[in-house]
Structure 1
């Protein structure tokens, strides 16, 4: 009951309008990841920043009420103009400040991100990406080569992974919740097995010594991502086996996820919500 209450409260907190939230006490913390790539930690998805003498590139921008704090944090790294913004997917904790930054730089995203933002109940044309792509695109800024690559049917249907080739840094967006159960947006084109497939493809296709900025959680590496992948594989097999045995949702919730991964439960995605996602995604 307590876990369910926490998840409900967290869901409400994450989906409220930015105008209804008080971000006055939120601190944007800056972490150097590798070379000229930084991570900004605040309230919402982790932000990536590329700092060069020819300008800055921003990956995701959290909530609207944090835009000026995010901008100040970027300027504290390097007081150069913002050149590009990338959205890894459409969720508000990654795109909420689009309206603010769109006046400063073009926003890049997968075509499905633009479509989903445009189809919101109260769409704001200033929030929309102005450069879209199907499979991916390359951006060159100073000496850095930034590769944007679309991964379909994972967290959503518009996921982009950002790879800073010179710095050897990957920003996975929400295809990685480090040390936590992930949110898979089944209503937004997400897919349980597609999520695992995307994770395994990233692990195999990118350098083994790459540093990773996850969508949520601490900076890590490919080995940390493999630990997350093992949790996904176990969870899918665990629930698939139970469903094949004819167990009901009630039975599976009573069975739980098992001791090994109980600590992956967090405020937004509790063990119960994770199991319900798996049941809904695998039971079709």
Structure 2
């Protein structure tokens, strides 16, 4: 399965005015064929432009479904039109945001008025408020009406599914939630996992690249070998769905990055020298897509270890 609707480095789309996000460009290109793919237990995902959307579509019911993340308004409207055409849903029980970044929340307004509950981690909501304020765009994106600190859960109206949102600590941001469809055993990780692509890390929003591997380890322990995971992004020709083995692989990448940067700092390598000499992170050769984000990873880790 091709993943052609994720982060690229060819177009500029700033997600906030924070200094870290100015160090690189974040662009998004639309999928040639926006697609809704069902997995199991009425849970699936939608790919178009931005972070992967998760869906729960209860069979035979006009309401009570779930939307996880919303990409951008155009992509969200395309999904809503697809669902209406298929006669799937007119109302939703829950809209959930895994975190605050614009490629996951800019389409909130499309779904927020159709959802009974709009939920995120409390730090994610505050990050979204701060991000919009920094850009002078207050009120342009629907904010979660319900927040939580550690976990939040609910039973869905069809009586066949329950969802839980769980916070495992600072990683990609300071407010990343894992959304678990418990009966289907499918979990949406948001941007806690970039499949074989250099990840974006947002320290200004509470992200912690050193703690990120610990979060991934805890996630692997919290779910089981049968859990399917939906990822926020993936490199070309890599899927946005996988298993705990993919989480462990990404965990290894982050640990390898830390080990490599720590070794180079002890040698006296400057940050600019490090960026210039690095193409692949030793120990994690699969991560080789997205040069600008690779440099950001090196810089964030370098500064973290220099503290």
**Normalising by the residue count of structure 2, what TM-score does the alignment of the two structures yield?**
0.81
Residue matched to 2:212:
195
Residue matched to 1:244:
266
Residue matched to 1:47:
53
More helix by share: 1
Q: Matches of 2:281 and 2:93 in 1, distance apart?
A: 47
CA 1:47–1:113 in 2, change beyond 3 Å: closer, same or farther?
A: same
Residue matched to 2:182:
165
The CA deviation at 1:65 is 2.4
The CA deviation at 1:279 is 1.4
Q: Kindly indicate whether the alpha-carbon contact (under 8 Å) linking 2:8 and 2:28 is maintained by their aligned counterparts in 1.
A: no
Q: Matches of 1:241 and 1:259 in 2, distance apart?
A: 11
Of 96, 100, 110, 2:106 maps to 96
Does residue 280 (structure 1) correspond to residue 303 (structure 2)? The answer is yes
The CA deviation at 1:64 is 1.8
Of 101, 104, 111, 2:122 maps to 111
Of 186, 195, 200, 1:178 maps to 195
Does residue 215 (structure 1) correspond to residue 226 (structure 2)? The answer is no
Residue matched to 2:24:
none
CA 1:274–1:130 in 2, change beyond 3 Å: closer, same or farther?
A: same
Does residue 227 (structure 1) correspond to residue 249 (structure 2)? The answer is yes
Q: Matches of 1:15 and 1:232 in 2, distance apart?
A: 23
Residue matched to 1:150:
167
Of 74, 81, 105, 1:72 maps to 81
Q: Matches of 1:260 and 1:196 in 2, distance apart?
A: 15
Residue matched to 2:22:
none
Residue matched to 1:124:
139
Q: Kindly indicate whether the alpha-carbon contact (under 8 Å) linking 2:74 and 2:107 is maintained by their aligned counterparts in 1.
A: yes
Q: Which runs of 5+ in 2 are unaligned?
A: 1-6, 17-26
The CA deviation at 1:248 is 1.4
Q: Which runs of 4+ in 1 moved over 6 A?
A: 21-25
Q: Matches of 1:268 and 1:32 in 2, distance apart?
A: 32
* Number of positions where the alignment pairs a residue of Structure 1 with one of Structure 2: 274
CA RMSD of aligned residues (A): 2.6
Q: Matches of 1:148 and 1:8 in 2, distance apart?
A: 31
Residue matched to 1:58:
67
CA 1:245–1:77 in 2, change beyond 3 Å: closer, same or farther?
A: farther
SS of the aligned residue for 1:202 comes to helix
Q: Kindly indicate whether the alpha-carbon contact (under 8 Å) linking 1:155 and 1:185 is maintained by their aligned counterparts in 2.
A: yes
SS of the aligned residue for 1:225 comes to helix
The CA deviation at 1:79 is 3.1
Q: Matches of 2:261 and 2:52 in 1, distance apart?
A: 30
The CA deviation at 1:260 is 5.5
Q: Matches of 2:207 and 2:181 in 1, distance apart?
A: 25
Residue matched to 1:3:
none
Q: Which runs of 5+ in 1 are unaligned?
A: 1-5
**Normalising by the residue count of structure 1, what TM-score does the alignment of the two structures yield?**
0.87
